[in-house]
Every structure is written in C-alpha cells, then in structure tokens.
A and B are shown apart, each in its own frame.
Chain A
Amino acid sequence: MAGTRQIHTLSVEASTEHLAEVRDFVASHAENIGLNQKMISEIRLAVDEAYTNIIKHAYSNNSTEKVNIEIGSDDDQLWISLIDSVKSFDPRSYREPDLMKRIKEKKRGGMGVYLIRKVMDQVQYNRKGESNEIRMVKNL
C-alpha cells in the first residue's frame, strides 16, 4: 500500500435516508486501508455530522439536491470532503456549545461541528467556484 494514493467518490441526494449508506461508504474505505476500529468509528461520526449539517442547514432538507462525498488517502493522511452548492458556512461564526445553556434553552444542534473538530485532526472550509467543500483530515 506504500506510496499509493486512493480516492473514492459517492454522490447522494441530501436526505437523512442516506446517512447509513454514507457512513458505510467511508467506513469500508477506512477499513480497506487498515485503520483501527476507533479511527473508523470517528470517521463514521465525522462524515455523519458533516452530511447532516449540509442536509439541514445548507439545503434545508431539500432532498432533490446532491452532496458529493470524496474519501482519499495517502501514506500520511486520510481525508474526506463533502461538497454542496449553496451559501457558504462561515467558520468564524462557530462557537463551542455551552451544553448546560443549551439544555436549559432546549436548543439542539451545534454539536456536530464540535464533534467533527474533536475526532478529526484538521477541518477546512473551502469555496470552490459555486461549491462549498468541508474537508476533514485524519493523520495516519
């Protein structure tokens, strides 16, 4: 496997119906490159949270829209990109959730981005032409 660079892509409608399929897609490639179970669990969680955020916030649950998912790896890193084509998420607006406050106010959400940052080593948001990319990297 040394020196190889592998990329796999999946295009799915923006619907929570496809969450399990998306998780299994990244998990199977992570397994193929020999990641341990803990890392595979973390990657499943990261892609789930990123995809759910796109469905709910970027596309407002409009399931006719598509999300392109790419997973790739080389000797040092595994990366996952999710690409949508709507207004960009502004990472400057991100704040760590205050859990007690959220519970008191019954506010849900906001936890996904926090979890992604916890389980991945790098998270980048890129504007590419008319598309937005969230690129999540795990060091191997």
Chain B
Amino acid sequence: MKNFSIATRQNQNVSILDISGELDAHTASQLENTLKSLIDNENYSIVVNCSGLDYIASAGLGVFMAYIEDVRSLGGDIKLTDMNDRVYNVFDLLGFPTLYDILDNEQEALQSFKN
C-alpha cells in the first residue's frame, strides 16, 4: 500500500515538490528518486512543500540529510515549507531547524532563493 505521493512543479529556476501522505521507510524511496532526478538534471534550488504531509519518520528525514549537503555545495539548497505541527515536531526533536531552512510557506522560500 502506497500512502504517499509526490508531484513536481517549476517556478522560474526553483523546483517545487509537493509531498503528501505518510513518509516512512516504505515510501522514502519515492522522495529519494525524485530528488536524485532533480539534482541529476542540475536543479539545485529546491522547495519541498509539506502542506499535504501527514506524517514523517526518521527514514524520511534521512532522505533530506542525504542530499542537502550536495545541493548546498553546488550553490543551491533544499528548503522545507508548510509543515503541520506534528511533522515539524519530528524535525525539531532531531535539531533539524538549526541545520535546515524550514519556512512557514512556499512564498517565503521562493523569496529567499531570490535574495
């Protein structure tokens, strides 16, 4: 059973991923494949809109961990937006908000890529 979905949009030079459902050790590979394909195609400015994300486990966070440093070293970033409180809490328990750009909404993320 796949209870996770992912869609990609483009806003000028920024790639936006809309992720929905539950991100766990079973569904993390879908996110991983999408991120990898964006990076392989030289898209390094990435926003992950989490407004549809109901749940995340450490396997999901591990995917972001695996790629963020690569993308930053190439002059880009992965910015996360629109998390609900339950999802944010998992990031927070692991201290991610000090390491990653986690923003309230997609517009803020798009703006910060322009600055």
Given known A20-B22, A45-B90, A106-B65, contact A112–B99 (CB-CB < 8 A)? no
How many chain B residues touch A (CB < 8 A): the figure is 24
Q: Interface of chain B, helix or strand or loop or mixed?
A: helix
**Interface size of A in residues (CB-CB distance below 8 Å):** 31
Q: Is the CB of A109 within 8 A of B69?
A: no
Counted as pairs of residues, one from A and one from B, with CB atoms less than 8 Å apart, the total is 73
Query: Chain B residues with Cβ under 8 A from A109's Cβ?
Result: 58, 62
Q: Measured between alpha carbons, how far is A49 from B94 in the docked complex, in Å?
A: 14
Selected from A20, A38, A52, A119, the residue in CB contact (under 8 A) with B93 is A119
Q: Which residue of A lies closest to B29 (CB)?
A: A16
A48-B68 contact given A99-B99, A108-B62, A119-B93, CB 8 Å threshold: no
Given contacts A21-B1, A106-B66, A111-B61, could you give 7 more A-B pairs where the C-beta distance is less than 8 Å? Answer: A48-B57, A49-B57, A99-B96, A100-B99, A103-B68, A109-B62, A115-B94
